[in-house]
Structure 1
Amino acid sequence: MAASAEPAPRSFRQLSGQQRKAFFAAWLGYLLDGFDFVLITLVLTQIAAEFGLTRTHAATLVSAAFVTRWLGGLVLGAIADRFGRKPAMILAIACFAVGSALCGFAWDYWSMFVFRAVVGIGMAGEYGSSATYVMESWPKNMRNRATGFLLSAYPIGTVVAALAYLAIVPNAGWRWLFYAGILPIALTLYLRRTLPEAEEWQAEVGSRKDVSTSSTLFGPRRRIPNALLAAALSAVLVLIFSQSGGGFTPLLIVLALAGFVVFAVQVAERLWPVMLAIMVTVFCAFLYSWPIQSLLPTYLKTEVGYQDVQVTTALTWAGLGYAAGSCLAGVVADRWGTRRTYVIGLFVSLGFVYPVFALPEGNVVLLWVLLFGMLATSQGISGLLPKYIGEHFPTRLRAAGLGFSYNVGALGGAVAPLAGSAIADRIGSLGASLALLAITLTVVVALIIGFDLPARIGRALGADPEPLENRSTHA
C-alpha cells in the first residue's frame, strides 16, 4: 500500500523552518515599510509651519507617495513575476528606505513631494512582492493567515514610528526622524539574502521568460511606448495631487483613468475587467481608512487638544489594534472564508466610529480602547486584501496583478487626506469629516466585497476568474 500523503500544516508551529524564516523576513520588511511611510503624518504640522503651508496644501505631501505607488506596483511586480519575489522585495525596501532618508534633506514643498514619491514606489513594491512571497511559500489552507499575519507588521511599524517621534523630534527636530528611516535596512537585506525563492513561483514560472508580465510590458515592441505612457501618467498625477492642474484637472483625471486602463489590459489580459473592479474596491477602502490614518494625529492635536505624549500613546493603541485585528482576521478567514470575514469585520467597525470622534478631551483611557477596537476591525480586516486580490490572478501574473491593482486603488489614499481636509473646511470639524468618510465608504466596501462584484463583473464579461489556481471555493 502506498504511503499516505503527509497532511498539510494547519498552524504556524507546524510550518517548516524555511517557511517561518521567509515569513519573518517579509514581516520585518513590511514593518519597516509602515515605519517609513507614516513618518510624515507625525510631523505634518511642523513641516507645514517650516515651509509655510496651509493644512490642505500640507496634506498633499501625504498624497505624494500615493502618486507613484501604481508605478512601483507595476514595475516591481513585473520584476517579481519575471525574476522572483525575493529580488523584488530587496529592491523595494532599498527604495523606500532611501526615499525616507532623503525626506530629511528636503528644503521646500516640491523637494519633499519628490522624495515622498520615491517612498511610494518602494512601498508599493514591498506590498506586492512580500504578500505574494509569503502566500506562495505557505500552504494554501493557511493563506488568509499568511497575509493577515504579514500585514500586522505595518501597524507595528507605525507604533515604532510614533515612539521614535517622541524620542527624536522634541530633542533633534523633525528631520532626524526621517534620517532614522534608513537605519534598519542592513538587517533586512541580510535576512533576505539568505532566503529561498517562493516555492509556488519556482515551480510554475522559474526560469521561463515568456509567461510573466515583464514579457508583456517590457517586450521589444512595447518597451518604449509603455515608458512614455508611464512618464506622462506620472506627470498627470503629480499635477492632480499637488493641486497644480487648475481648470484642467477634470481632463487630467480622465487621462489618468485612460492610462490605467491601458496598463490593466496589458497586465491582466482577459481579466482586465476584474482588475478594474478590484481597483475601485481598493480605492473605496482607502477612502474610508486613510483619512483616519493620515489626519488622526492632526485631529488629536488641533481639535481635541492632546499633547505629543498623549497623541503618541493613542497612536500606539491604534496600531496595536490594527496588528491584532490583522492576525485575528487571518485566523477567522481560514475557517469562515475571506469575504464573509471581511464583511463582518467592516460592519462591526461601524460601531466604533461615532464614539471615537464624539469623545471629548480628558477621556484618554476610553479613547485608547475605542481606537484599538476601531482599528482592529476597520483596518485590521484589510489584512485579507492580498489574499482576496491575489486569488483572482494566476501565479505568473500575481505579483504585478496584485501590486498594480492594489496600488492604483491606493490612490484613494492620496485623495483621502485632501477629501478629509476639504470636508472639514466646509463643515468646520475635522472629526466629523473623518467620521463621515469612514462610515459612508465602509458600507460601500462591505457591499462590493459581500456581493463579490469583481468576480461577478468578470463572469458577466466572459472573464471568469473562478478556474484560476488558488481561487478559494468558500472565499
Structure 2
Amino acid sequence: MTAAPGRPPSTFRQLSGGQKKAFFAAWLGYLLDGFDFILITLVLTEIADDFGLDLTTAATLISAAFVSRWLGGLALGAVGDRFGRKPAMILAILAFSVGSALCGFAWDYWSLFAFRALVGLGMAGEYSSSATYVMESWPKRMRNRATGFLLSAYPIGTVLAALSYEVIVPGLGWRWLFYAGLVPIALCLYLRRALPEAEEWKKEVGGRTDVTTSSALFSPERRLSNLLLTAAVSTALVLLFSNSAGGWAWLCSLVALAGFVLFAVQLAGRMWPVMIAIMATVFCAFLYSWPVQSLLPTYLKADLGFDEAAVSTALTWAGLGYAAGCCLAGIAADRIGTRPTYVLGLLISLCFVFPVFALDASSILLLWVLLFAMQATSQGISGLLPKYIGDHFPVRMRAAGLGFTYNVGALGGAVAPLAGAGIAESIGGLGQALTVLAATLTIAVALIIGLNIPVRIGHALGIRPDDVPALATPEKGTR
C-alpha cells in the first residue's frame, strides 16, 4: 500500500523503500547502542566484588558514561549538521562499540571509568544522529511515530543484554559480556554502503558550510578557547562523578555549568535560555527514570535476593514494557499532540511506581506485570523526547542542538545512581529510595512539559523564528 499521489504517507506501510531502510538501519544501530550501554548495570555487583568497591563507588561507573555524553552530543551533532546525519551515525556506532569491548580489558576502577566514558561519547552521538536521521527522512505528520518506534530499539537492546547476561556471566564471567560489544562494528560497513542521506537535511543544508553548528564551534577564532573550555568542563565532571572532588565539588559544579552556558550561547544565540530550559527538563527526566533503570538489577539481587535467571526475566519484562510504551506513545502523539501525550503518560506511571517497590520476592508474577506497566508509561513516554526537543531547533542546528541539550540533561543519569545509593543508605532501603526519586521527579517533568516552560521563555524573549516549529507555531507545533 502506498500513499495517494500528492499526499504524504500517514502509515508505516505507505513509506517508500528508502524511508523504511533508513528507519530499520537506525533502529538496529540504536538497539546495539542499548545493548552496549546497559551492560555495566547488569554486572555492577560482580565488578564491585572483583575490584573491591562499595556500592556507592561502583555506581560511579554507571555515571562515567554520562560524563562524556555532553561532548559526544555536541561534537558528533556538529559533524551531523555539517557533513550529514549518516556519517555522524557511523562514527557514533564505532565509538560505543570500541569503548564497550575495551571495558572487558579493564584492569582497575579508573581504566573501566575511562572506557565507559568512551561508550558514553558514542551513545550520545548515536542518539542525536539516529533521531534526526529518521525524523528528517519521514513525513512531518509521522515524526512522533518515527522517534517513538526508533527509541523502542533501546529497550530491546537491554533485553538482549539481560538474556546474554544470563547465558554468559555465570560460566565465563563479566568481561566476556563486554567483548560482545564489537558486534556493532559490522553494522557500520552496511550503513556506509547502503543508506541514503536524510532528505530534509540535504534539502535545507546540503553542502553549505556557513549555516551549521560546526561553523560556530570550530571557527578559527574559537577553536583554542573551545578546546580549553572542553578540557575544563570534562575535568570538572570527572572529578564530580568519580567522587574525587572533595571540598571542591561546588567549584567543579560551577565550572561545568558555566561551560554549558557558554556553549549554549555559541550554538543558539538569543535562544540560549530556551536551550537551558530544555536541558533542565531532560535532567529531571533522567532523575526520575535512571535510578530505576540503573539500579534495578542491584535492587533485585541485593534486596530481593533474585538469582541471574530471575533478574534477567525481570529486566526482560521491563524492557518489553519500555519498547511497547515508546511505540504506543508515538502513535498517540501523532493523533493528540506531543505534549499532552507526554504528560498523560507520566501521570499514569505514578499508579505503578509505589506498588512495584512495595512487593516482596514472593510476588514474582505480579512484579513482572507491574514492571512492564511502569516502564511502558514512564520510560516508554521518553520515545517522544527527540521530537519534543527537535521541534525547538531548525534543521541547520538540529543534530547538535538535540544532542547537546539532551546529553547535558542526561547528566541527571550520572547523578541518579549516586542519589539512589545515597538516599538508600540514609533511609534504609534501595526500594524506598527509588520510589521517592521516581515519584517526585515524574511530577516535576509533567509540570515543566505541561506548562510549556521552554516555549514560554522563548516567547518572553520575543523569539518566534519561522524555522523553529515549537516557537513559530505555538498553537500546533508545541503540542
> Stretches of 4+ moved more than 6 A in 1?
none
Match for residue 324 of structure 1?
A: 324
SS at structure 2 position matched to 1:473: coil
Superimposed CA distance per residue, residues 298-322 of structure 1 (whole angstroms, 9 cap, x where no aligned partner): 0000111111101100000000000
Superimposed CA distance per residue, residues 2-38 of structure 1 (whole angstroms, 9 cap, x where no aligned partner): xx96111110000000000000000000000000000
SS at structure 2 position matched to 1:244: coil
Once the 2 structures are TM-superposed, how far is the Cα of residue 466 of structure 1 from its aligned partner? 6.8
Superimposed CA distance per residue, residues 267-316 of structure 1 (whole angstroms, 9 cap, x where no aligned partner): 11221110000000000000000000000000000111111101100000
In 1, Cα distance between equivalents of 2:266 and 2:187: 36
Structure 2 residue identity aligned to 1:473: G
Structure 1 residue identity aligned to 2:287: L
CA contact (8 A) 1:26 1:130 kept: yes
Match for residue 357 of structure 2?
A: 357
For the aligned residue pairs, the C-alpha RMSD in angstroms reads 1.1
Distance 1:474-1:106 versus aligned 2 partners, 3 A rule: closer
In 1, Cα distance between equivalents of 2:8 and 2:466: 23
Match for residue 473 of structure 1?
A: 477
CA contact (8 A) 2:90 2:191 kept: no
Match for residue 224 of structure 1?
A: 224
Match for residue 395 of structure 2?
A: 395
Once the 2 structures are TM-superposed, how far is the Cα of residue 105 of structure 1 from its aligned partner? 0.4
CA contact (8 A) 1:392 1:465 kept: no
Match for residue 208 of structure 2?
A: 208
Match for residue 411 of structure 2?
A: 411
Superimposed CA distance per residue, residues 118-146 of structure 1 (whole angstroms, 9 cap, x where no aligned partner): 00000000000000000000000000000
2:94 is the alignment partner of 1:94: yes
CA contact (8 A) 1:393 1:465 kept: no
Moved more, 361-370 or 444-453: 361-370
Moved more, 187-196 or 160-169: 187-196
- The sequence identity of aligned pairs, in percent, is 72
Match for residue 156 of structure 2?
A: 156
Q: TM-score, normalised by structure 1?
A: 0.98
Once the 2 structures are TM-superposed, how far is the Cα of residue 188 of structure 1 from its aligned partner? 4.4
CA contact (8 A) 2:29 2:187 kept: no
Distance 1:258-1:398 versus aligned 2 partners, 3 A rule: same
Structure 2 residue identity aligned to 1:206: G
Structure 1 residue identity aligned to 2:420: G
2:281 is the alignment partner of 1:281: yes
Equivalent pairs, count = 472
Match for residue 338 of structure 2?
A: 338
CA contact (8 A) 1:25 1:192 kept: no
Match for residue 28 of structure 2?
A: 28
SS at structure 2 position matched to 1:219: coil
1:52-451 mapped onto 2 (5 Å cutoff)? 52-451=52-451
CA contact (8 A) 2:359 2:367 kept: yes
SS at structure 2 position matched to 1:137: coil
Once the 2 structures are TM-superposed, how far is the Cα of residue 232 of structure 1 from its aligned partner? 1.3
In 1, Cα distance between equivalents of 2:128 and 2:446: 23
In 1, Cα distance between equivalents of 2:449 and 2:159: 29
In 2, Cα distance between equivalents of 1:210 and 1:188: 29
SS at structure 1 position matched to 2:8: coil
Structure 1 residue identity aligned to 2:421: S
Structure 1 gap segments, 5+ residues each: none
CA contact (8 A) 2:93 2:184 kept: no
Once the 2 structures are TM-superposed, how far is the Cα of residue 474 of structure 1 from its aligned partner? 5.6
